[in-house]
């Protein structure tokens, strides 16, 4: 019989009891103040229990078996709006009064309305022509924060032997700083061209798009001989879908509907470290 993990920052006993009754759980195990495990739930009640969980503001994860985190080999993450709280390109544009134009293209791309991510990125980067490099440093130091639970998830994953891959359609100026800060094993993203201390509005080299993200995860999986059941992948936008499809633990974090529909798990209210509650201690 499967297990059902319920999580929320303000987890309420009465809400848990309601879902336990709907799911015909054999027992309830408290994992923390924000998470419980419903033991031996009835899979026939999955649809109703899921609908009520969402209505009650709880994240839910159905698991046929509980593995240890050390069973996994890879934690792969998107950067913008997943690992961190911002879309870096929007904030760079904001420094020069162009956020509205850039953000509109970003949103359309994230929702999957612009099929060619590379083209959407080039259009946005073109709007950054003339922006001083110092603006990028200001975005990192003044606006960029890790999303809740990021530190704990990454630290615990590394302690359990997983390699952590940051793969982003964003920019190296940010991924490299985060790689150093968090001790990430791998980081891939795009390089902005700079001349005389300002951005030219161009991207150097091949763009890391949806296929590029998937290719980098696939290459790491092949090197580590990692099966889909040994991969955790987390993202929020349409350009993460090919990467997420390679992982059994595919996670939509505060994601667009198109992503939530195509992933096994979603974290709509919980922090990134909520992933850890899906594994045995």
Give dist(CA 65, CA 39) in Å, integer: 11
How much is the pLDDT for 236? 96
pLDDT at 110 over 80: no
CB atoms within 10 A of CB 31: 16
Q: What is the pLDDT of residues 197-226, one digit of tens each?
A: 999 999 999 999 999 999 999 999 999 999
How much is the pLDDT for 201? 95
Domain of residue 16, residue span: 1-66
- What mean pLDDT do residues 157-162 have? 98
For residue 186, list its beta bridge partners.
Answer: 165
CATH of the domain at 48: 3.30.70.260
Catalytic residue among 40, 59, 78, 151: 78
Is 234 within a domain?
no
Is 46 within a domain?
yes
Is 92 within a domain?
no
Is 52 within a domain?
yes
Give dist(CA 269, CA 260) in Å, integer: 13
pLDDT at 109 over 80: no
Is 8 within a domain?
yes
Is 19 within a domain?
yes
When divided into structural domains, the chain yields a total of 1
Give dist(CA 237, CA 278) in Å, integer: 23
Is 62 within a domain?
yes
Catalytic residue among 59, 80, 209, 240: 80
Would residue 90 show up in a list of annotated catalytic residues for this protein? no
Is 82 within a domain?
no
The fraction of the chain above a pLDDT of 70, given in percent, is 100
pLDDT at 117 over 90: no
Burial class of residue 44, CB neighbours in 10 A (0-12, 13-18, 19+): exposed
**Whose CA is closest to 244, among 262, 219, 268?**
262
The phi and psi torsions of 30 (rounded to 5 degrees) equal -75, 125
Structure tokens that stand for 133 in this block: 């490099």
Would residue 59 show up in a list of annotated catalytic residues for this protein? no
How much is the pLDDT for 103? 87
How much is the pLDDT for 78? 98
How much is the pLDDT for 120? 87
pTM metric for this prediction: 0.95
């Amino acid at each position: 019989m499967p297990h059902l993990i319920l999580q929320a920052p303000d987890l309420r006993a009465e809400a848990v009891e309601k879902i336990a009754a709907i799911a015909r759980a054999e027992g309830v195990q408290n994992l923390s103040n924000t998470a419980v495990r419903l033991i031996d739930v009835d899979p026939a009640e999955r649809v109703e229990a899921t609908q009520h969980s969402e209505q009650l503001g709880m994240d839910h994860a159905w698991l046929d078996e509980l593995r240890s985190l050390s069973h996994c080999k890879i934690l792969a993450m998107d950067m913008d709006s997943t690992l961190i709280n911002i879309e870096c390109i929007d904030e760079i544009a904001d420094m020069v009064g162009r956020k509205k134009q850039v953000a509109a293209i970003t949103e359309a791309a994230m929702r999957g309305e612009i099929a060619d991510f590379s083209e959407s990125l080039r259009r946005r980067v073109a709007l950054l022509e003339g922006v001083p490099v110092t603006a990028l440093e200001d975005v990192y130091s003044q606006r960029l924060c890790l999303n809740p639970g990021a530190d704990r998830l990454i630290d615990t994953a590394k302690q359990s032997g997983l390699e952590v891959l940051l793969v982003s359609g964003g920019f190296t100026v940010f991924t490299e700083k985060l790689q150093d800060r968090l001790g990430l094993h791998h980081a891939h993203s795009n390089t902005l061209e700079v001349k005389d201390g300002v951005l030219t509005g161009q991207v150097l080299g091949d763009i890391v798009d949806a296929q590029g993200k998937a290719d980098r995860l696939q290459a790491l999986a092949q090197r580590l001989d990692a099966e889909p059941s040994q991969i955790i992948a987390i993202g929020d936008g349409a350009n993460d879908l090919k990467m997420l499809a390679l992982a059994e633990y595919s996670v939509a974090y505060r994601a667009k509907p198109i992503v939530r529909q195509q992933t096994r798990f979603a974290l709509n209210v919980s922090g990134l470290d909520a992933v850890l509650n899906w594994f045995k201690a």
